Amino acid sequence: MNAPTRGADTSTVKIHVEWNTITTPQNGDAEVTSYSLEWDAGTGGAAWAALVGKHSNSLATTFTVTDGIQRSKVYQFRVVARNIWGWGAYSAVTSIKAAKIPFTMLAPTTSVDALTGGLQIDWVEPDTSGEPITEYLIEIQKNGEDTWIEYAATCGGADPSIFTCVVPMADLESATYGYAQGDPIYVRARSYNFYGESEISPTSIEGTQLRTTPQPMLAPTRNSETSGDKIVVDWSVLVAPDNGDSSILSYNLVWDDNTATVDQDLVGVSPYYTQT
């Protein structure tokens, strides 16, 4: 017979086994009277015990083991058929692990990365269902659409030991994602292991708003204290939304030193600067 196979209902607490029936000539040209499924109970093949069909006839082609199953442990199975002439040869052995696809992830969280100002996405490892996570998929919703797009450059998810990534805000303003200043950004995630992909997570609950670079400032103005040996310049501070909905880190005043070309940066962190 062909080796038994892992059934779709296998999990961390039960092993679902399936096998095929046999017909002429594999059945010895006689009707099969019973199929016997045996397992090693996790002994690594050191001992075998019949689960069904050995001591009383059974033509079932599926069986679920629920007793004695340990999460992540591997169990071996084999099957054999009987006809009027007796038992045939055992099938090849199949190893089945008490594991399945990962559980659905919690919704990712978003924030503004303190170092770069980008969109920081964080997630937590789900219940792995007995098999290690191999990768993650992190998707960002296209603004206003039911379209979800991976940002592979920094959020590819190929390293299952990483649970955070940062997306530049400027990239989210592109046509690919379609966000504008103040729009909430939503993300979701799924995980993978050897047995397949999890269900997609819920969408992040509170979308972090898109931040941008500051809007163009008003032209600086001449301060009344300007004299023959000094120039005093004033400019207006930027506030939301003109500051891109993010605190201004610095103002940069540039002058041409009376050369008609930009010659020197006069850098300050306040709306007041004196050049003498």
Of 110, 111, 172, the C-alpha closest to 143 is 172
CATH of domain 5-97: 2.60.40.10
pLDDT value for 108: 98
pLDDT value for 265: 66
pLDDT value for 179: 96
pTM of the model: 0.80
Mean pLDDT for each 10-residue chunk of the chain (276 residues)?
97 98 95 98 97 96 97 98 96 98 98 94 98 98 96 96 97 96 96 98 92 89 90 88 84 81 62 52
Annotated domain spans of the chain: 5-97, 109-209, 221-275
Q: For 109-209, which CATH class?
A: mainly beta
pLDDT value for 276: 47
**Residue 12 has which token pair?**
């961390």
pLDDT value for 263: 62
Residue carrying structure tokens 């009383």: 56
Q: Are 88 and 2 in contact (CB under 8 A)?
A: no
Q: Do domains 5-97 and 109-209 have the same CATH topology?
A: yes
DSSP state of 235: -
User: Residues 80-128: pLDDT tens digits?
Assistant: 999 999 999 999 999 999 999 999 999 999 999 989 999 999 999 999 9
Q: Are 130 and 103 in contact (CB under 8 A)?
A: no
Per-position b or e across 48-59, b if 16+ CB within 10 A of its CB: beebbbbeeebe
Q: Are 191 and 126 in contact (CB under 8 A)?
A: yes
CA–CA distance, 186 with 198 (Å, rounded to integer): 19
Residue carrying structure tokens 């969408």: 203
Half-sphere exposure at residue 268, Cβ-oriented, CA atoms within 13 angstroms: 14
